[in-house]
Chain A
């Protein structure tokens, strides 16, 4: 704060606004909000808590019934990962909040005056959230798998990572959850409102399958298999459902929803006044 006659009196050094600076800014932002930590704690609790709990309940019932009870444990890997059905809400809401938290507080104006080309703001948020979500959901998924299989050990029908499809199921669970987080980011930029974003996210992920189920067969299965929930969660199955999409095809379809939402969000970010 001395004279501006010198080129750099404040000693700032050189610097430009780039995707890289957006990433470091978003990394600070995501760590410095309590909502991030609450959403992540809730998600880990759902994934690591619920899947193994389901496994334990089934193991108990199966042991009570003897050989007939093994019907409860047709897909041991999938059972242990079922917590993602609730975990997806926590991570999806986090995706929405990362964006709408800025629109509702006005922070977006600070973000966009720093990065007026705008797209680096969306890209920075998406990349940082995806990295955080992927790291934590992968860790939680593997933890859920091992805890769940331990719970199933008494039935001698537990899976291991070398069981066919088990490794794919664990990796895929984290991938699916990360896709849902990005769907939330896209919806956040599209709608700019927390309530609207969360409601739309829940609608697309959880309500659409219920509505589609009201269609007469075979239309209902034909529609349901392309919805993000059904398509994306085939990846955690090790016994494949012949009426559903193949695991990697399904995850690709789910990723398509997230990509479409983010492209729509990018369009709105550039087109609308901030």
Chain B
């Protein structure tokens, strides 16, 4: 269980994390979603005690990270920026990390096998591809068989095979009862990997809930086909309802549901060929939730 309690971090005058309050439960994959620069990596670093919060608390199973007697045995972390000396071999890197928490050496070979790096275990990490580096980071995170995993953008730069591998692994780890907290700016990836979501923008909490909750009733549309589409469109359009014409006989309607569309069509004697509600994708929900934050961020980046 991870808990952020009114977590706040300022770097000089910039507030990177602004009063985050959320919980991450064990047993499911929780996605940490937000645009680039929204404070996800900073939040991860606060949970790991690498940065000190300006105010508030980040706790792991009820304790501050620095108070864990053998942190790698309780928390495994993959940071977005690499945390490996490029001059060392993969095996020696894992051995050094394992030794720091008295994790048996045998475990290093097991993890190299799990992530499929045995063949390059004695090669120096500097020559690794992005995907191999991510696999090594996962191996380091799992060394201590931790009950909590914090992974910052684990699928970044991975090929489809690697993405599928991480997705399957994370779901298996969560299925074993672990707390799995994964950040990403890729909504499509979180939609298939995560069950729960914590959405942030500009360092602030934007939404929490299940993927289903967050997509329900948000940005959904209805596909309408009718030979009389051009007559139907102005009847539907109005405040809170947009109608976009596609093919001559097709309309995409947002803002009112299919029941209402059917009623309007019947009132005016218009025959419908198709009336299909389409649930919002997480992508659409996310864009809607964070639109304001993204705009702010774009402005802030061009100014800095």
**B83 near A15: Cβ-Cβ < 8 Å:** no
Binds A, one of B140-148, B271-279, B280-288: B140-148
Residues of chain B within 8 A (CB-CB) of A117 are 66
Q: Are B85 and A114 in contact (CB under 8 A)?
A: no
Given A4-B176, A12-B144, A35-B87, also A113-B49 (CB < 8 A): yes
Which residue among B50, B71, B84, B85 has the maximum number of chain A CB atoms within 10 Å of its CB?
B85
B145 touches A1 (CB 8 A): yes
Q: Which chain A residue has the least Cβ–Cβ distance from B142?
A: A1
A213 at the interface (CB under 8 A from B): no
Residues of B within 8 A of A243 (CB): none
Those of B75-96 within 8 Å (CB) of chain A: 75, 77, 79, 81-89, 92-93, 95-96
B116 at the interface (CB under 8 A from A): no
Query: Interface code A1-43, partner B: CB below 8 Å = 1, 0 otherwise?
Result: 1111100111111111100011011111100111100000000
Binds A, one of B102-110, B185-193, B258-266: B102-110
**A9 proximity list for chain B (CB < 8 A):** 145
With A3-B176, A28-B95, A106-B82 given, is the CB distance from A116 to B66 under 8 Å?
yes
Chain B residues contacting A32 (CB-CB under 8 Å) are 88-89, 92, 95-96
- With A17-B71, A116-B49 in contact, do A12 and B87 touch (Cβ < 8 Å)? no
Minimal beta-carbon separation of A106 from chain B (angstroms): 5
Give the nearest-CB partner of A14 in chain B.
Answer: B102
The answer for the CA separation of A116 and B45 in the assembled complex, in Å, is 12
Report the interface size class on chain A: 35 or more
Q: Which residues from B are CB-within-8-Å of A17? A: 69-72, 100-102
Determine the distance from Cα of A272 to Cα of B37 in the docked complex, in whole angstroms: 21
A75 close to B (CB within 8 Å): no
**B52 interface residue (CB < 8 Å to A):** yes
Say whether A110 contacts B176, CB under 8 Å. no
Least CB separation from B64: chain A residue: A116
Minimal beta-carbon separation of A34 from chain B (angstroms): 6
Inter-chain contact B107/A12, CB cutoff 8 Å? yes
Q: Is A162 an interface residue (CB 8 A)?
A: no
Chain B residues bordering chain A, tally (CB within 8 A): 47
**Does any Cβ of B come within 8 Å of A105's Cβ?**
yes
- Smallest beta-carbon distance B190→chain A, Å: 24
Query: Do B87 and A101 touch (CB < 8 A)?
Result: yes
A150–B227 Cα distance when bound, in Å, is 108
B94: min CB distance to chain A, Å: 10
* B65 interfacial contact with A, CB 8 Å: yes
- Kindly state the separation between the CA atoms of A115 and B68 in the bound complex, as whole angstroms: 9
B177 at the interface (CB under 8 A from A): yes
- Tell me whether A107 is interfacial, beta carbon within 8 Å: yes
Determine the residue in chain A with the shortest Cβ distance to B42: A273
Q: Say yes or no: is B48 at the interface (Cβ < 8 Å to chain A).
A: yes
B244 sits at the interface (CB 8 A): no
Q: State whether the Cβ of B135 lies closer than 8 Å to any Cβ in chain A.
A: no
The reply to whether B145 and A16 form a contact with Cβ atoms under 8 Å apart is no
Judge if A63 is at the interface, Cβ distance under 8 Å: no
Convert A24-68 into 0s and 1s, putting 1 for each residue whose CB lies closer than 8 angstroms to a CB of B. 111111001111000000000000000000000000000000000
Closest residue of B by beta carbon distance from A11: B104
> Given that A109-B83, A113-B48 are contacting pairs, would A21 and B102 also be in contact in the complex, using a CB cutoff of 8 Å?
yes
A273 to chain B, nearest CB (A): 4
Once A25-B96, A106-B82, A110-B97 are accepted as A-B contacts, the answer to whether A5 and B65 lie under 8 Å apart by CB is no
Partner-B contacts on A (CB < 8 A): 1-5, 8-17, 21-22, 24-29, 32-35, 101-102, 105-117, 273-274
9 additional A-B residue pairs with CB within 8 Å, beyond A5-B177, A25-B99: A12-B144, A13-B104, A17-B102, A107-B83, A110-B140, A113-B65, A113-B83, A114-B101, A116-B71
Interface residues, chain B, CB within 8 Å of chain A?
45, 48-52, 65-66, 68-73, 75, 77, 79, 81-89, 92-93, 95-97, 99-104, 107, 114, 140, 142, 144-145, 147, 176-178
Closest 9 CB pairs of A and B: A15-B102, A10-B145, A114-B100, A32-B92, A25-B100, A109-B83, A107-B85, A25-B99, A273-B51
